[in-house]
Amino acid sequence: MTDQHSNAYYHTLDKSYYLPTLRRLPLALERGEGCYVWDVEGKKYLDTLAGIAVNNVGHCHPKVMQAICEQASKMTHISNFFVSRPQVELSEKLVRLSCIGRVFFTNSGAESLEGAFKIARKYAHKNGRGGTIISFRNSFHGRTLATIATGQKKYQNGFEPIPAGFRQVEFNNMDAVLEEVGEDTAAIVIEPIQGEGGINVADREFLHGLRALCDEHNIVLIFDEVQCGVGRTGHWFAKDYFGVQPDIMTLAKGLGGGVPIGAILSNEKVSQAMEHGDHGTTFGGNPLVCATALATLSVIEEEGLLEKANENGKWLKEQILGMNEPSIQEVRGVGLMVGIAFEFETKPLVLDMLEHGVIANATAGNILRLVPPLIITREELSIALNTMKESLKNIKENA
């Protein structure tokens, strides 16, 4: 009989009850602190995945935990028929940080994108344009029907008919965009840095070109910063790194320090298209998640995590390039959003690193994705790199 306190026990039990949509790693994680997590068997792991770029201030940061406990003891949910102090303060904070005039809170990244599409289409229709939304190949905007319509074909298989009104073109190719833009175009949605697609960084000139094109044709420009926003690039938002202001920006992941919250930020021009009853949410922006997000943003400010993400990200890429590892084809990314392209599939590498106490991620086939907490130290990054080196040796020896 399997030990009821083992990873194997919970992994097997999970397969019996959870919808079989996930290929989980064989661990049952029980607690976390800083950049580390522990499984139910007591083994410690350095976490360079951070819940897929969610735990930006690490696991169980004292200030974030204090905010959760204090707010939970007062009130967790009130519905959006009323305002709450945490929601109003978070709205003000995000508008000030982003210089984008309005905010709407959601529960996830996909929900933020869905809301962004609605705002963009409502604005387009009020201005005599169609409702088509252009996205880019290798993008990932979520798992809902509308968001998979903007994403990779593999996520659409079996879910036909896919919603109409979405077209896709090549990333970083302005000629392809120009060929697709027309009177029916409502919006262009782009990840400034594609996450699931392999940490593909948009060309600065390309984003500036999209901004100019959208201005010329009164098209809404949407930046999906669900993964690259909230300090990940060493700036509050990737838009600031590139120097391009979108009409709409979507957030989630790192905003809540581990609790589920998303946000849609839209400028005054497009926001004026929305009227009472055009959109809503039951749980979005409740007092608990807003108080937690406020604490998370405060930690990023007080601990200088933007500067640390910028400096440590540059250092990390330098160290990887300095390895002169022949199987590494490219190192890309901004801040602490780093992708290492190998000449082989990276899943075996991730599994070997996991066995040796480091959590990383394989994406887009041959990319090792590193999106650690922004609080990570160079000593901890060195541990991750040394483990990667040893794991590379192991998989080569066993090839």
| pLDDT computed for residue 5 by the predictor | 85
Low-confidence ranges of the chain (pLDDT < 50): 1
Q: What angle do CA 286, 304, 254 make, to 5 degrees?
A: 35
- Known active-site residue 389: no
| pLDDT computed for residue 2 by the predictor | 66
- Known active-site residue 224: yes
| pLDDT computed for residue 209 by the predictor | 98
Quick one: how far is CA 301 from the chain centroid?
20
Phi, psi of 24 (to 5 degrees): -80, 150
Catalytic residue among 122, 166, 171, 253: 253
Q: What does the pLDDT look like over 281-292, one tens digit per residue? A: 999 999 999 999
Catalytic residue among 47, 224, 247, 352: 224
pTM confidence score: 0.97
Residue that the structure tokens 């609605």 belong to? 118
- Known active-site residue 140: yes
Q: What does the pLDDT look like over 190-241, one tens digit per residue? A: 999 999 999 999 999 999 999 999 999 999 999 999 999 999 999 999 999 9
Catalytic residue among 105, 117, 136, 140: 140
| pLDDT computed for residue 1 by the predictor | 44
CB atoms within 10 A of CB 70: 11
Pairing of strands 36-39, 29-33: antiparallel
| pLDDT computed for residue 398 by the predictor | 87
